[in-house]
Structure 1
């Protein structure tokens, strides 16, 4: 085969159409519903209209990675739901209608898990989970069998996993209004949660040799910006509102402008997979 033709074929394969099933909470949600418009060329996130119903308005990291920070056509099924905990039976969400990670997985099972061959294939599909913020925020609880979810995904053909740890929400304006002891306790619990996540991701990889895993360290990404906000174009580490130089969109969620950095970070971690 001619060398230049081989390079073209390899480039075409690298940039082939990819699929993304995303799970999480308000840091990830775009308001997608399984009975709405499906993702397609020209509308890669399906429903609702872009950028969707995000926590602070505007694009979030899923929007950016799907439409900007990628090397492929990415069709994203974003099952994340605002307020989600790992399991509503373990940590009660703020409203009973909130879809926990358990509920989101069941939605995937009912709607997409058994459409693997006609819709998605193991090699070209990413599964991401960013969960734990509300588990910690609501009760400082570390429960939830994430191992069981990972095994389930493997059973239905998932092979590429992106996990995201919990950011330093102890530094959010909401928590800065609380006592220093509450902030210190939350920081300690976050560190424990993130440490366990790292161990479990390593275990998943060890137990499934055909699985590829990535971890986006959101905690480090947030910390880098909050420690030196002006270096990233933000006014400070505590103000919240809707302006290009504001990191926090409200007192608990980063702004769309912050999410632009997150999208770039995630794309770098994935190394061109999508």
Structure 2
């Protein structure tokens, strides 16, 4: 999706309003990173030729296994439904992998290789009495990590795609479905801390499994301002509580794994700032969305449906960001990562 010229200009004029990221002397170096491995939900999912249509890059819960040749033959698909944003998402912008329309070899990208295990609609835990699967083919984070341990990591190692795990950044961005689904378990204004604790305790058990494979650099991203979406099922207090518990567990994981690098990026703060001054970023609508977002010609003829161009909307639909919003987010994330030399 090509950015509108007015948006590009607006970003240039508002760049001084962004946060400053100090350069840190650590074992992690973004400039030396060669691969990004990502886990998560629809905010991170990318379509693959070997994936479940509209849900994954490779495999699903009904057929999670794959061979090294299957993985290396898989291609990133970029089109209107190639992500849940109507265009490239943050992992694609960050790696310059799969940004262009068509098919992309994840090993032949401009910046970094991209290996995406995220599954659209995923929760952290697969439990019918807690966070039930959205579909029988859904890979919850538990199963994404299992798929990686059993098939992904062996494939990347045996093909020498990953030669040194210190050159890899492993990203986890999940929780959107968790917080929304858990909001239905009790009164909206009740305390959800015990439920959120269970989610994060399990997430970091899974992170430990990836750590035990030899990966040492981890990125955690918190919840966006879901309370400011077009039809929110959660409030700001719930989002804040979820994010606070995530941070506590990420801090604790850093304490017990001193040889690991735990990076925490505050998505919520960045996007709240964008929403507060959305017009400076070229957005014209920060509360609603184009109801015809999924029509095949929406990118070329939005006026046909009474819509403005999609890049002028903050929200793509009731639960997702537009590709343009993810691009803005990624610029801030890249500044953050470049602080690590």
What range is the shorter-chain TM-score in? 0.7 to 0.9
Please name the residue that 2:306 is paired with.
none
Any idea what SS the aligned residue of 1:236 has?
coil
* Whole-angstrom CA distance in 2 between matches of 1:156 and 1:227: 42
Q: Does the C-alpha gap of structure 1 residues 148 and 238 become closer, same or farther in structure 2, counting only changes over 3 Å?
A: same
* Whole-angstrom CA distance in 1 between matches of 2:135 and 2:70: 26
Q: TM-score, structure 2 length as denominator?
A: 0.66
Q: Tell whether the 8 Å contact from 1:27 to 1:82 is kept in structure 2 after alignment.
A: yes
Q: Which runs of 4+ in 1 moved over 3 A?
A: 13-17, 34-40, 114-117
Shift, 1:236, TM fit:
3.0
Please name the residue that 1:167 is paired with.
224
1:216 corresponds to which of 249, 253, 265:
265
Please name the residue that 2:324 is paired with.
257
Deviations 1:94-116 (A, max 9, x none): 22221110111011112222344
* Whole-angstrom CA distance in 2 between matches of 1:72 and 1:56: 22
1:125 corresponds to which of 168, 171, 183:
168
Q: Does the C-alpha gap of structure 1 residues 256 and 109 become closer, same or farther in structure 2, counting only changes over 3 Å?
A: same
Which residues of structure 2 form unaligned runs of 5+? 1-28, 48-56, 60-65, 100-108, 184-194, 291-308
Q: Does the C-alpha gap of structure 1 residues 15 and 167 become closer, same or farther in structure 2, counting only changes over 3 Å?
A: closer
Written as runs of structure 1 = structure 2, the 5 A alignment for 1:1-274 is 15-16=31-32, 18-31=34-47, 32-33=57-58, 35=66, 38=71, 47-50=75-78, 53-67=82-96, 73-89=111-127, 90-114=130-154, 115-116=156-157, 118-120=160-162, 121-140=164-183, 141-142=195-196, 143-144=198-199, 145-175=202-232, 183=234, 186-241=235-290, 243-271=310-338
Q: CA RMSD in A?
A: 2.6
Which residues of structure 1 form unaligned runs of 5+? 1-12, 41-45, 176-181
Number of residue pairs aligned between Structure 1 and Structure 2: 248
Q: TM-score, structure 1 length as denominator?
A: 0.82
Q: Does the C-alpha gap of structure 1 residues 39 and 188 become closer, same or farther in structure 2, counting only changes over 3 Å?
A: farther
* Whole-angstrom CA distance in 1 between matches of 2:334 and 2:145: 24
Any idea what SS the aligned residue of 2:172 has?
strand
